[in-house]
């Protein structure tokens, strides 16, 4: 975080897999914990970095659009810095009411708010669930979000250094692989630690089932092997 070079990463899962939201939530909590101890000798990160996050939800109209992402970023940055509220108010005061919720203006305001932060982690979960206002044109909406997020990494064009680190999670849908294929990525479906967690969880559940239905050891082992072989990186609690 001490240099201006931004770092991006994304974690993706094959269709039907679960766990990305849990991982994103843990990443957010970890960053917030580091932020709380920054400047106290508990972390190598500099004091004053921000943590901004958003969870796309396809079934919730207020959490599935680019506009929703921008509004969330504005709200979070206002809570982090009162200066942002003053700047946003002055900018909105110069616009007519019909333009206040326009994507172009919200995008401008979000860039202004994030520019003040200087150092910022942005975590976006479930990008594959992003869509248009009516739930249509999902790929166009996702491309728009990615293009905007990537544009945040370049500074303000006036010599000021801005370090924005991006963490995006989502299921493979063709669009994300195309636009994020050059980013460092984590494949949960091929992660040995993840597969080991699935096996440990399955063994614990299988032990309970075997005792309940009085299954012999061979039968229980056979069922367990089939479950692990077909899990394909997915678990169900």
Q: Bigger pLDDT: 77 or 38?
A: 77
Task: Check whether residue 174 and residue 206 sit in a common domain.
Answer: no
Please indicate, yes or no, if residue 2 is contained in any of the structural domains. no
The per-residue DSSP string of the chain comes to --SS---EEEEEE-TT---HHHHHHHHHHHHHHHHHHTTTTS-SSPTT-EEEEEE--TT-GGGSSHHHHHHHHHHHHHHH-HHHHHHHHHHHHTS-GGGTT-HHHHHHHHHHHHHHHSEEEEEEE-GGG---TTS--HHHHHHHHHHHHHHGGG--SSS---EEEEEEEEE--SHHHHHHTTS-EEEGGG-HHHHHHHHHHHHHHHHHHHHHHT--HHHHHHHHHHHHHH-TT----
The domain tally of the chain equals: 2
Q: Bigger pLDDT: 96 or 234?
A: 96
Task: Check whether residue 22 and residue 123 sit in a common domain.
Answer: yes
Structural domain boundaries enclosing 21 = 8-190
For residue range 47-87, list pLDDT tens digits in order.
568 999 999 998 898 999 999 999 999 999 999 888 899 99
For residue range 122-163, list pLDDT tens digits in order.
999 999 999 988 767 899 999 999 999 999 876 544 545 568
Please indicate, yes or no, if residue 156 is contained in any of the structural domains. yes
Task: Check whether residue 69 and residue 153 sit in a common domain.
Answer: yes
Mean pLDDT of the chain: 82
Statement: the pTM of the whole predicted model exceeds 0.85: no
Task: Check whether residue 184 and residue 198 sit in a common domain.
Answer: no
Task: Check whether residue 43 and residue 129 sit in a common domain.
Answer: yes
């Amino acid at each position: 975080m001490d240099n201006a070079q931004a770092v991006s990463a994304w974690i993706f899962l094959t269709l039907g897999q679960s766990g990305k939201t849990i991982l994103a939530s843990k990443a957010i909590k970890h960053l917030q914990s580091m932020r709380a101890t920054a400047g106290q000798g508990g972390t190598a990160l500099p004091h004053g970095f921000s943590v901004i996050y958003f969870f796309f939800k396809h079934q919730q109209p207020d959490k599935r659009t680019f506009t929703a992402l921008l509004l969330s970023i504005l709200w979070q940055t206002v809570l982090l810095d009162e200066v942002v509220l003053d700047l946003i108010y002055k900018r909105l005061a110069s616009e007519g009411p019909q333009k206040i919720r326009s994507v172009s203006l919200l995008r401008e305001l979000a860039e202004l708010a994030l520019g003040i932060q200087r150092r910022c982690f942005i975590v976006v979960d479930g990008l594959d669930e992003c869509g248009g206002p009516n739930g249509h044109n999902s790929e166009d909406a996702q491309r728009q979000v990615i293009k905007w997020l990537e544009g945040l990494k370049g500074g303000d064009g006036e010599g000021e250094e801005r370090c924005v680190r991006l963490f995006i999670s989502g299921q493979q849908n063709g669009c994300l692989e195309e636009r994020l294929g050059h980013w460092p990525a984590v494949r949960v479906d091929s992660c040995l630690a993840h597969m080991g967690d699935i096996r440990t969880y399955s063994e614990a559940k299988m032990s309970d089932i075997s005792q309940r239905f009085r299954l012999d050891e061979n039968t229980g082992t056979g069922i367990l092997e089939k479950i692990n072989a077909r899990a394909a990186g997915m678990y169900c609690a």
